[in-house]
Structure 1
Amino acid sequence: MTLEFFSATDVGRARDNNEDSVALDEAAGLAVLADGMGGYNAGEVASQMLTSFVSSELGRWLKDAGREARAGEVKRAMDICVDNANRAIFNAANTNPRYAGMGTTLVLGVFRPEGLLLGHVGDSRAYRLRAGRLMQITRDHSLLQEQIDAGLLTVEEAAFSSNKNLVTRAVGVEDTVLMELHLHEVQPGDTYLLCSDGLSDMLDDDSLANLLNGNPALPEAARALINAANDSGGRDNIALILARAEGRQRAEGRGWWPFGRRGGN
């Protein structure tokens, strides 16, 4: 199976700086997205530290380990890398007053022969579009999600809650972090969307699905998603990564090169 990648970020309509960050290493099948938090430029520092650290260290490990590495070994490498990045951000926040309290969400995807190993911390999300149907495949680590799970709010009520951006887990705010990590089967034709809440807060699932289905080329899909989020208010920075899986015969017929192809802003 071959993969095509595309990533993009946008400052949105309400912010002056961009605290979202993305990184791709298509040779390793690696995608990293982070949404920073903190005063001044601290959120921007945290998200860039995380994406740079993970893409560099985990990307190197994945290429050294090769395609023969087992899923359990890759999961352990992901956990160790995120733990090391968490400690680096935590230490920076506690030694530099300008960075006090900074942290960041994370969505981390590693495409392997056995499927997609997907880790996340916080409320940045991953979705899968399969046969035209969109499904959210991460579950927010947020106060709002806990209230929904406890039956205190409906999903419809949650859309208007004032607690939307209160996360219960983040990278860098404590000396340890727990990343939720799952393996997902990948089928030819699947499209995966990793995004910050600057996209998912502005557009509901039906809107995301319609835009992805209506724009089959990844660069056009990314532009359509960002434009729609901004047209809906653009209240936060927007970051997204798109990845599409294709069967080898179809992909080679279209001139794609394994392991993937990357695009950007």
Structure 2
Amino acid sequence: MLMRKRKQNWFYGISTHTGSVRQSNEDNVYINTIRDRKGNEMLVTVVADGMGGYDAGDVASETIVTMIDKWFRKKVPPMLALPYPFTKIASEIDKLLQKANATLISEGEKLGNKMGTTASILFLYKNQYFITHIGDSRIYQISENPEQEQEENYQLVQLTEDHSWVMDQVKKNLLTEEEAEKHPKKNLLLQCLGITEDFSPFMTEGSFSKQDTFFLCSDGFYNIYPKQALLEGFRALQGSDQTFQSFADCLVKDADQRGATDNITVSIVTPKY
């Protein structure tokens, strides 16, 4: 877990845990910010779920997080002077992922054990978001829905696409989403970093309001935690004295107590303004 300096313009919380079943934590989570000349903060947060076992999966997820951290701190600040920095970021993050993929393949060959990782990367700047994603970790946007009753006025939208076999079957109308959630092959990935030279990251962008919250998590969380329970937690968080960090820790603990069989990782971010 890597957190750089205090984020002045954001409420946030990141948390990761081995869980009660696994012997090591192959997940990694990261958050950091930089400022432009006018004081606007760009935030980046990452959830990476490694695979390959001890000394492989954890190294893989740590490798991508470390590479993103170094690149973000050294290369991205000049991009904030551009009219729309996400155009440059999209090009550069693609090159970074290519480099990370080659590094992981090479290191895996040295170890004699393939090491892979997912990478769900979220950038927030002013009122715009940009996402680069590969694998089956997820990024959600939680927004107020004024058309709903007060007790149901939040909606949870998944912004990323799972690069998994079951989601591919859902797209082809060969499985329903309900069947995919219980399918024995639900953990089979079609894309991740570190396994093959060919991959195609999912990228998307959009806008957000000051009421919106972004929620990132590994599959160890969402495979066990009901979406309705997550929304109820966010509703309870609004207007309470609980910090986002405390809430993130509570979600991870709750997921473990619900019977999570994998590492559990979350990142929560919302603007202060």
Q: Which residue of 1 aligns with 2:39?
A: none
* Residue 85 of structure 1, CA deviation: 1.4
Calculate percent identity across the aligned residue pairs: 27
Partner Cα distance (1:196, 1:242) in 2: 12
Structure 2: how far apart are the matches of 1:78 and 1:35? 18
Provide the C-alpha distance between the structure 2 equivalents of 1:67 and 1:109, rounded to a whole number of angstroms.
20
1:24 is matched with 31
Equivalent pair of 1:20/1:44 in contact (CA under 8 Å)? yes
- Which deviates more from structure 2 when the two are superposed, residues 179-188 or residues 19-28? 19-28
Bigger relative CO (Cα 8 Å, ≥ 6 apart): 1
Matched with 1:206 is 228
1:75-90 equivalences in 2 (<5 Å): 75-90=90-105
User: 2:38 matched to which residue of 1?
Assistant: none
Unaligned runs of 5+ in 2: 1-7, 35-41, 145-153
Partner of 1:220: 246
Q: Which runs of 5+ in 1 are unaligned?
A: 248-265
What whole-Å deviation, never above 9, does each CA across 1:5-49 have from its counterpart, x for those lacking one? 221101111011000001111224111110000033210110000
Q: Of the candidates 243, 259, 270, which is equivalent to residue 233 of structure 1?
A: 259
Structure 1 CA distance for aligned equivalents of residues 68 and 237 of structure 2: 30
- TM-score, scaled relative to structure 1: 0.87
Alpha-carbon distance, 1:236 to partner = 0.5
Where does residue 185 of structure 1 map in the other structure? 207
User: What is the aligned partner in structure 1 of residue 14 from structure 2?
Assistant: 7
Match of 2:186 in 1: 164
3-state SS of the aligned residue for 2:267? strand
Q: Do the aligned residues in 2 keep the contact of 1:86 with 1:177 (CA within 8 Å)?
A: no
> Equivalents in 2 of 1:237, 1:109: separation in Å?
21
Q: 1:209-230, CA deviations, whole angstroms, 9 ceiling, x for partnerless residues?
A: 1122222431232123112211
Stretch of structure 1 that moved more, 23-32 or 233-242:
23-32
Name the residue aligned to 1:46.
60
Write out aligned runs for 1:95-110 (5 A): 95-97=110-112, 100-110=113-123
- The structure 1 segments of at least 4 consecutive aligned residues displaced by more than 4 Å after TM superposition are none
Residue 259 of structure 1 aligns with which residue? Answer: none
> Which secondary structure does the structure 2 equivalent of 1:94 belong to?
helix
Tell me which of 148, 171, 178 is aligned to 2:170. Answer: 148
Check whether the contact 2:221–2:255 (CA below 8 A) recurs between aligned residues: yes
Partner amino acid for 2:199?
V
Q: 2:90 is paired with a residue of what secondary structure?
A: helix
| Amino acid across the alignment from 2:76 | L
Residue 208 of structure 1 deviates from its aligned partner by: 1.6
Secondary structure of the residue aligned to 1:210 is helix
**Partner of 1:134 in structure 2?**
156
> Could you tell me how far apart the structure 2 residues matched to 1:94 and 1:228 are?
38
After superposition, residues 50-89 of structure 1 pair within 5 angstroms as 50-68=64-82, 70=84, 71-89=86-104
| One-letter amino acid of the structure 1 residue matched with residue 211 of structure 2 | G
Stretch moving more, 226-235 or 119-128: 226-235
Which deviates further from its counterpart, 210-219 or 85-94?
A: 210-219
Q: CA RMSD in A?
A: 1.7
Confirm or deny: 8 A CA contact 2:24 2:54 kept in the other structure.
Answer: no
Residue identity matched to 1:213? R
> Does 1:173 find its partner at 2:195?
yes
Which of 27, 47, 51 aligns to 1:37? It is 51
- Is the contact made by 2:28 and 2:49 (CA closer than 8 Å) also made in structure 1? yes
